[in-house]
Amino acid sequence: MPGLDAISRGLMFDSLKQYAKRRIPYDLLRELDRKNEFPADILKEMYDTDILGIHLLLIPSEYGGLGGNTFDITRVCEALAHIDLGIATSVFATFLGSDPIRVGGTEEQKRHWMGRIAKEALLVAYGATEPDAGSDLVALTTRATHVVKNGKIVGYRITGNKQWISNGGVADVITILAAAPGGPSWFLVEKTAEGFSANHHEDKYGIRLSNTAGLALDDVYVPADHLIGGVEGQGLLQAQAVFGYTRLMVAAFGLGAGWEALETAIRYSQQRIQAGGPLSKKQGYMLKLIVPNAVKLEAARAYIEETAHRLDGDEHGLQTEGAIAKLSATEAGNKTAEDAIQALGGYGYTKDFPVEKIKRDVKITCIYEGTSEIMEMTIQRGRWQEHLKSRGQYYEGQAAEMDRLQAECPSVGAGSAALALRALNQVLEQVRLQRLTRHQHVSMRLGELIAQAETAAAFARAAAQPHYSESVRFDAEAWQAMSRVYAREAALDLCLKGTKLILGAGPLPEGFVQALGLDAALAAQAGSLEDQDLIARKLTEVFKSR
């Protein structure tokens, strides 16, 4: 999908930032957070096409939208997360809620419903999760039964409960997943439908202004044309089909919220004078609390953008990649917000500064749209199949690509990324030989290691480009140093954590450590401190104190 051009994207985000500066200052966000209140008027303005019309970016141009592609949407998600994750979540919920229509709807349904969302600025919610069915949607208990007239199905009656529905209490239209006689299916339910009700706004840890509510459907009638796609039993396939990019959007939330916290900390570090100088000049502070987080966030950015461009090309699904992006970015965002509190010391622990709120908010990104643990399982499952199918060549191929990149562009850490990928290959092979995937813990830790090695490779590829993405705020010197730091750490982590996993479950065969490349991974650590010092300096240049 072509999507928008860089200038238009930049102008739209400027408008969004200016709107936020004027209408959503921190004092208001803090107040809404305290009162646990959904800002209906703000959302209304953001959807007002004379003011912002942000929802139009999510709608294809043939249905009255602006036809943003995956890259545009990840960018706007990052920009929204910089402002407030609760507001971002509410916008995202409309997108997610309309997804079943976009993916599975008939042409007529798309025209009707997407057209209405564009024109009437409808808030939409996505009603899949139930009290006893989260990631395991097969356990669905909401039922849809046929209403038959003259031998023809004219409608459905839906009964059941939904849980943790973003926008649940405020949405105009909700897409509801229910078990129909032909199997799980999506239905469109309007909030005015008889028998439909929303429970209270949940009292959450973070994203408190985002409306999250349980839904009750008591014999709710919908006409037959409200069955998405017009055929029963397609619901789970339709839900699965979009995970690649919906998880990319949540990954971008982790990125945006993480950077917002980190920028606050970097600017603060230049103002706070301790023992004769600003904190930003103190190596111990910068290299512990600031630099590692910048590196992880930028690595995640490289992975997110690579996946977005692949989806905008002609690749489909990319569910494993979506999971890697989400795991890397949201865990990085969460850790960054945690460290930002530490970086601000006592101030960070108060509500006068935004970082404690960001920390509470960003935690949700590690939970919704599939928890980090579900991501680890998804990643391991996807790549395990590749490893088996290719007879151990999957990661060897990627490592060889990194060898070539190292020869062409020696400054991006591709050599270390190759070490990480080869170590991963050795670990996977040993796991196969000893049949260690029977231990769930081993499988899930593998998921994490896979994400780390692949992210290192994606970062090296991105850092070797002659022109960086518009979203990168650093020069080549800084970004390449970040890529080197990430790859070095990945190489050593893969060796050490991989060995630990195998040793914990079974014997370590002779020669394994040598085959793993531990010596090379250790040697690759040379120069790490110098790189981190450079990054620290660059960060304070880009994010100056105000």
Partner 1 sequence: MRTVVCVKQVPDTTEVKVDPQTGTLIRAGVPSILNPYDHFAVEWALKLKARHGGEVTVLTMGPPQAKAVLQLALALGCDRAMLLSDRAFAGSDTWATSYALARAVKKIGKFDLILCGQQAIDGDTAQVGPGVAQSLHIPQITFCDSIEVEGRKAKVQRHIDDGYEIVEAKLPVLCTMSLPHAHPLPWPSFPKVAQARSKVLEVWTAADIGAEPEKIGLKGSPTQVHKVYPPPLRAKGTVFTGSASEMASKLLDILRQENFIKP
CB of 337 to partner 1, least distance (A): 22
Closer residue to partner 1, CB minimum distance, 117 or 487: 117
Non-local (6+) Cβ contacts of 503 within 8 A are none
For residues 354-366, one letter each, b for 16 or more C-beta atoms within 10 angstroms of the residue's C-beta and e for the rest, the string is bbbbbbbbbbbbb
Bridging pattern class, strands 173-180 and 124-127: parallel
Non-local (6+) Cβ contacts of 188 within 8 A are 101, 109, 113, 173, 174, 175, 176, 222, 226, 228
CB of 480 to partner 1, least distance (A): 15
3-state secondary structure of 416: helix
> Is 91 within 8 Å of 59 (Cβ atoms)?
no
Closer residue to partner 1, CB minimum distance, 272 or 538: 538
CA 251 to CA 340: how far, in whole Å? 19
> Is 358 within 8 Å of 255 (Cβ atoms)?
no
CB of 39 to partner 1, least distance (A): 19
Closer residue to partner 1, CB minimum distance, 8 or 390: 8
Which residue matches tokens 């231990």? 439
Residues labelled catalytic: 369
- Would you tell me which residues interact with partner 1 (CB under 8 A)? 4-5, 7-8, 10-12, 14-15, 18-19, 22, 48-54, 56-57, 66, 473-475, 538, 541-544, 546
Q: List Cα–Cα distances, 473 to 28, 259, 362, in angstroms.
A: 29, 11, 22
Closer residue to partner 1, CB minimum distance, 50 or 510: 50
27-33 long-range CB contacts below 8 Å, 24 or more apart? 29/84, 29/86, 29/209, 29/354, 29/357, 30/351, 30/357, 32/86, 32/208, 32/209, 33/86, 33/208, 33/209, 33/357
Closer residue to partner 1, CB minimum distance, 48 or 352: 48
Reported residue count of the chain is: 546
Closer residue to partner 1, CB minimum distance, 15 or 342: 15
CB of 256 to partner 1, least distance (A): 16
CB of 7 to partner 1, least distance (A): 5
What token pair was written down for 519?
């010596």
CB of 467 to partner 1, least distance (A): 13
DSSP letter, residue 546? -
DSSP letter, residue 201? P
CA 370 to CA 539: how far, in whole Å? 32
Non-local (6+) Cβ contacts of 324 within 8 A are 303, 307, 375, 379, 450, 451, 454, 455
Closer residue to partner 1, CB minimum distance, 427 or 478: 478
CB of 362 to partner 1, least distance (A): 23
CA 472 to CA 480: how far, in whole Å? 12
